[in-house]
Amino acid sequence: MQSANLVWDRAWTHDRPDSVQIDRYHLETGVAMIILGATADDKGAQLEALVASIFLSQGYSSIRRNLVTAGGNEIDVSAIRESPVLSHTQSTPMMCEAKAYASPLSMPTWHKFLGKLHLARAENSSTIGILVALNGVNGNVAGSYAQLAKTDTAVFVIEGRDVSDGAIARRELSDASAVRDALANRLGRVPVDLDVTYYAGAYYWAARWDDGSYSVFTGQGESLITQQLAALTPALLASLSGNLVGSETEEAELEARHAIRVSLLDDLFHDRTPAMGDDPALDEEVQALEKEPFCAGVGSQLRLLPPGELDHKAVSRLFVALFEQKTSVLQLGFIADRLHEPYVDRLVDVLPMIQHGFALNDEDTATLRAIAPFFPSMWVFLSVPYPLITTHREESSDDVSPEISASDSNNFWSEVIRIVKAEYVNPSLRGLLYDHLGLAELATQTELVVKTKSGVAGVIKSVVRDAVRQMDFAEFGGEGITHVSIRMLPHVPEPWEDEHPDPAHPLGRSA
């Protein structure tokens, strides 16, 4: 067996006839992995980014993508592997071509790769050549590679299965059998096939059902949050055949089960005992909550753990569980009673653990604590890694430069502002914000007087709604501190200009 440990854990084998080795391997394993992308260029860029991240995790340095060398030789991914040799260091260059073609690679692509490797070795004879063929290579290429590998031990062909096996070993993916069992238990149906997919720094499982539809889950087989699925949809529709999500009936069933779960969580926030025994669907969801890291006890003794006892995984899972499917505002009575605020506070505490070391300064942390409890979408945002921050933090050392930290902070707050603005546009949430949370809005009005030689020509008034503040309204007849959110959306009606359709009747509130 020829070792490929410098690249991936899985090594190439030569125990089969050369002419059929790769074709047979491809047929036995099927399509091991699918790179998603809205366009062909997007798919290529996604694969290159994935390959670069793997090389980085294995100790390669000076990683470059789409490097153009002398003579116009463009290399998808290049890197250097440095190895200590007594008091010296050996630097071994690596060049990689990464192809996400739907069919096995043929001889023209193989010859093009060898040509690029030849040019690279003309500059440095120790260059390692790697061809990532996501869907394998055909028999002619297999035979050519097998013959070459007998004399050249620095050339490797890597298939999609090698990549997915490595992700499973690193626990970025759960094993297919475990995912299949989990889906069967949770959804009551067994997928006829499971494909590993990859997009924007994360692995996903695509589960294909017997009716030709498919659903997408996280690398661990969990349901995607609505926002995550929406972000993936263009790439999914361009990359996979069949109907996304599945039948409307299945979706309705999932939403019905989710509604029961949210109702139970509302009971737990209010410290109410779940009623069991009358409804099998409710009993099933109680049993599911018993397994969640944010709950303790069983059956009628089920309770929500105090926020101080929840680690970052448990508290983030709590808020994700609230919004895995569509959630009615009418079920969020615990928000009106402010019962969720200690858990949001805990979510802010563990933000660096969720966002891979990203932390706010004291002033920004205080601001986040003040505004986060009022906007449900922000809980989800804080609960899952934000790719614009976490992707490069995964790929670099713990020593993040001040420039990168400043960029991360800007990206973070830009997303927070976007979420706040979006929540105000949502008519359902406007009822929650104004009618039940008592939010008030602040507007700064400026008058510009236009003066000419003949006198005042007119007055221009401008109103700015672009910040988040706190004010004490005691002097206006109110009580205590009111959180005031100002939005940059002048076209949105004033709080008194429209009726708030949801909730149309009082939320579930504690007695």
Q: Residue 498 has what pLDDT?
A: 54
Nearest Cα to Cα of residue 128 among 140, 143, 117: 117
In this prediction, residues 51-75 reach a mean pLDDT of: 84
List beta partners, residue 470: 483
CB 489 within 8 A of CB 424: yes
DSSP 304-331: EPPGGG--HHHHHHHHHHHTSS---GGG
In this prediction, residues 39-67 reach a mean pLDDT of: 88
As given in the structure block, the two tokens for residue 31 are: 């399509």
List beta partners, residue 30: none
% of the chain exceeding 70 in pLDDT: 80
Residue 214 phi, psi dihedral angles, 5° rounding: -145, 155
Q: How far apart are CA 500 and CA 427, in angstroms?
A: 7
Q: Is the pTM of this model over 0.75?
A: no
In this prediction, residues 125-141 reach a mean pLDDT of: 92
What is the residue type of 122? Answer: A
**Separation of CA 468 from chain center:** 27
List beta partners, residue 458: 450
Q: Residue 327 has what pLDDT?
A: 82
Q: How far apart are CA 198 and CA 98, in angstroms?
A: 14
Q: What letter does residue 504 receive in the DSSP assignment?
A: S
Instruction: Please write down the HEC assignment for all residues of 336-358.
Output: HCCCCHHHHHHHHHCHHHHCCCC
165, pLDDT greater than 70: yes
Structural domains in the chain, sorted by start? 21-167 (3.40.1350.10), 171-246 (no CATH)
**Separation of CA 20 from chain center:** 39
Burial of 452 (C-beta count, 10 Å sphere; 0-12/13-18/19+): exposed
Residue 300 phi, psi dihedral angles, 5° rounding: -70, -10
Q: Residue 424 has what pLDDT?
A: 74
More confident residue, 263 or 439: 263
Write the CB contacts of 59 (distance below 8 Å, at least 6 apart in sequence): 81
